[in-house]
Amino acid sequence: MPDVYDRCLADAVFRPFAVDVARRAARLRPSRVVEVAAGTGVATAELLAATPEAHLTATDLNPAMVEAGEERVAAAAWQRADASSLPFDDGVFDLVVCQFGVMFFPDRPAAYSEFRRVLAPSGHVLVNTWDRIDTHGFARVLVEGLERALTGDVPAFLAQVPHGYADPQVVVGDLRGAGLEVESVETVTLEGRAASAADVATGFCTGTPLRGEIEARGDLDETTRLVAAHMTAVLGEGPVSAAMTAHVVQARR
């Protein structure tokens, strides 16, 4: 899954926002940064480029993601870590970054409390989270394809998890509940570009947890083929693009 995720989704879906969050990080002039839920290192690479003087530690709960990240972005210090119980001393970082990871946390208040604990006084947090599915040009068409392919039994993963934390005021409330001061909330729309709609379909259907939900309902290859055909019919042949909207929240200790 990490290989498909990285090959099909990293640049198309995640890199535009990684560039954005890295620019925000650079304005804070951090010296010690920890990235939580770093995946295969899409934002990690952009953070390294934008903050070359900083020491960057990248973490993920999934060992396969950590292994893939180490291969792709070797300049960062990688280790496995649970966001709700970070293996770091108090006050050792001046910036915590989490790109599209907070939606997956089973206990967000606990994770945010950990963010605060590992931050030095006046340290910062940068997180982003997707808006609703209908504001994500790729995800919206993907769900349409799933509805055609799996009539009456569409997986709820995309709506409940990646797009299930779409109210920025809920995010703000959770951060404040952990004792963090929210400094800014910005809704950002950026364009994603992929080599083909089929690549995006393959990435989501076989390179994310959506895969397990599809396999529980039927044939993964056939469903992926049908979804890819629908996405191609809507978005077009060859290189495709789509607007995607997310919320970016900056807080401080």
Sort residue 216 into left (φ over 0), alpha (ψ -120 to 50) or beta: alpha
CA–chain centroid gap for 233, Å, is 27
Cβ(79)–Cβ(66) under 8 Å?
Answer: yes
Tokens representing residue 31 in the block? 């010296």
Burial zone of 40 (CB within 10 Å; 0-12 exposed, 13-18 middle, 19+ buried): buried
pTM: 0.95
Interval 132-158 mean pLDDT: 95
3-state DSSP helix/strand/coil % of the chain, to nearest 5: 50, 25, 25
Sort residue 56 into left (φ over 0), alpha (ψ -120 to 50) or beta: beta
CA–chain centroid gap for 47, Å, is 14
DSSP 3-65: HHHIIIIIIIIIHHHHHHHHHHHHHT--SEEEESS-TTSHHHHHHHHH-TTSEEEEEES-HHH
3-state secondary structure of 220: helix
Residue 2 pLDDT > 90: no
Cβ(35)–Cβ(44) under 8 Å?
Answer: yes
User: What is the tens place of the pLDDT at every residue in 49-89?
Assistant: 999 999 999 999 999 999 999 999 999 999 999 999 999 99
DSSP secondary-structure letter at 82? B
- Domains (range + CATH), the chain: 1-131+166-192+245-253 (3.40.50.150), 134-163+196-237 (no CATH)
% of the chain surpassing 70 pLDDT: 100
Which long-range contacts link 111-116 to residues 24+ away (Cβ below 8 Å)? Answer: 111/36, 111/83, 111/84, 112/174, 112/175, 112/177, 112/178, 112/180, 113/178, 113/179, 114/83, 114/84, 114/85, 114/86, 115/36, 115/86, 115/178, 115/180, 116/178, 116/179, 116/180, 116/253
User: What is the tens place of the pLDDT at every residue in 166-225?
Assistant: 999 999 999 999 999 999 999 999 999 999 999 999 999 999 999 999 999 989 999 999
